Structure 1
Amino acid sequence: MARSIRLDAVLVQAVIAGALSFAHLHDIAAAAGQDGWKAWAYPISVDLLLVAAWRRLRILRTTGEPTRAAWTWFTVALAASLGANVATAGLLDLNDVPAWLRIAVAGWPALAFLGGTLLVHTPTPSAPADPMAAPVLDADPTPDIAVTREETAPVPTPEATPVPALPPAVSVPPALLAHAHKVAETHHTATGTPIDADTLRTRLGVPGPMADALAQQLTGKD
């Protein structure tokens, strides 16, 4: 409920400020010699240029493009509106306005038309294409496929011969290797022959791959 009251108060404030600014612009235009409907058209022209410049400014900010031109026309329209408000505060005799003000008011339509045209008809830059996007395929690739089949015969590809996987390397702990050396020496002293992997597996109680790795270490093989 409090939020609705706050929004309504802001809207009323905007309407009041807009009406006062509109009236000040009308009074300045009328004092500068623009009578009748022309005096009422001036505040509309100023407000429209102000809104168009602000809208263009937001679009350029969103796309990351330079906003200098939009800021320029926004400042021009704001200066015209603010200048009219200040001039009607008793600082200017509306019964005898200076010549420069008459020239500025008379030249405003051409300036506003130029600014509005540039703001509205300047193309908005589009977002850059995504380099990771999938390429667009032909909607009907059938004719191309048919021509390819007629011109080139399919070449059979040789079947790949499966390569047997190598057994994983077994890491031999240094302490176990030292103990295996003692067992191998004892075996060689007792039998006169080098110890084999099966005997190592039985004596040490290790798995087959570990016994093989120990036997290779003891016999000096890679």
Structure 2
Amino acid sequence: MRHAENAVLVLILLVVAAVAGAASFTHVHDWTMANSPAGTPGWFGWANAVISELVPIACALVIRRRRRTGESVLYPFTVLLSAVALSLAAQLAVAKPGFSGGLLAAVPALAFMALVKLVLSTKPATTVPEPVKPTGPTPVESVRPVEHIPPVRPVVVPEPLARVNGVIPSGVVK
């Protein structure tokens, strides 16, 4: 069931991404071209659109990864906020004057960012590993009684034989 829910969520995200992307990319393109010098090629507007719309998604992925590894999220979060501000500025710049014009122009970018946040902030399911059942004897069963081991007796070597170069080696008892 969880796999089906995840699949539906990803499908919704992809549909919203396509529609919001088309609207947002168009707004950023139009804004870029309206504010660029005469003769600027159209691809430049599309390049700005791709950059400004994909950077927030990349930042969200980096933030998620860094949270998992315990690293700082300050820099990617700052870049994320800057990219979202830029995208929203483009949406508002091409909107009709007034609150409703700005709100309607900002809906695609805000909706997509909200869905990205929902999908990327979902914690992965954690599974608790089952305890390992021993297949052989338990540690107590595997202990055997120690057989009687005779004590080690030192080797007694006569002093003249024990001396090597005038020194008695350690471990030799006189």
| TM-score bracket for this pair, using the shorter chain length | 0.3 to 0.5
Higher percent of residues as helix: 1
Higher relative contact order (CA 8 A, sep 6+): 2
Larger Rg: 1
TM-score by length of 1: 0.38
TM-score by length of 2: 0.47
